[in-house]
Structure 1
């Protein structure tokens, strides 16, 4: 195995990136996207402000990097034994994620950043694409078990299942109950079974 350009894996660069990412997430949790500043991230991370500006450029760069790192983290894809149970669990995971006192404000800040910054929007798109790919496994398993017809688009089933959660949280600003989550999963499953997706 050879290392490209003589750089060591990990080391100081990885520690700096991790410190800045953790500081970015903490700042987002406390202040939201509107309150995120390079100066506060630098102070919280212990990384000099000029280093943060040079490497990340601005708050959009900080958001993009945090999402890039999160994109490759594993997500707990459910395996309940049925596509109905799996879809219900996926939607509930999204719902509870936004309701979590620590992770929720960060996730909401990522969505807010995407509405205000094209770079953040691209990063959020890439993050969600990776999550949909992981989650689409429940649809692939369902097709293999004969629960869904061949050719069903797993990504689209996941999108349709979680879309009502995002609508309620970010458009109509309504609470999302377990019943709402279950109804969204059932609607996506009905569409998939009907061959619409």
Structure 2
């Protein structure tokens, strides 16, 4: 990734420590969303964060390490897991949450990174695996409760059901470019539920 000269008009400084690190990580996500992985530079991140580029190099080995940590920090936040008392509404809430997350600038930045040369970075590949593993683990109780209530067949695989729910959303985001909204989420949830009830999953 090419490093360009420091742009003029750097933002006001943000100090040191945790505040500085948060500002840099937030700036890295914003740059990734705006410019993409290939065009991201440490200088532009520094300008956006209000720090000197040497501050970044003192805290991160390189731009790739910075990107990896920025993505990890952003997606480490807890995702609310619904418990509405019915699997149909639980799955719709899960699908709507996925759509809401992935259609934000940060969500699109993650997709851009995963679809770009950044995916070759071991750190980014590991973040992607950990992200999906974490989401599946958090959402698995939704499926377990539905099985206990008799709404889904015994032996329903939570991970396969959740993959079936997410697949139509990611297809539109990554492949077809069709609009993604609440209707997309609801259709994906209904299709996954129908497959699970039919014993396919």
* TM-score class, shorter: 0.7 to 0.9
Give the structure 1 partner of residue 94 of structure 2.
90
What pairs with 1:1-197 in structure 2 (closer than 5 Å)? 13-99=17-103, 104-115=104-115, 116-117=117-118, 118-119=120-121, 120-197=124-201
Q: Secondary structure at the match of 1:136?
A: helix
Distance 2:129 2:96 in 1: 21
CA RMSD of aligned residues (A): 2.2
Deviates more, 1:17-26 or 1:43-52: 43-52
TM-superposed deviation, 1:140: 1.9
Distance 1:43 1:182 in 2: 41
Change over 3 Å in CA distance of 1:195–1:175 after alignment to 2: same
Assess if the C-alpha contact under 8 Å between 2:33 and 2:112 holds in 1: no
Superposition TM-score, scaled by structure 1 size: 0.80
TM-superposed deviation, 1:143: 1.9
Q: Which runs of 5+ in 1 are unaligned?
A: 1-11
Change over 3 Å in CA distance of 1:110–1:60 after alignment to 2: farther
Structure number having the greater helix percentage: 1
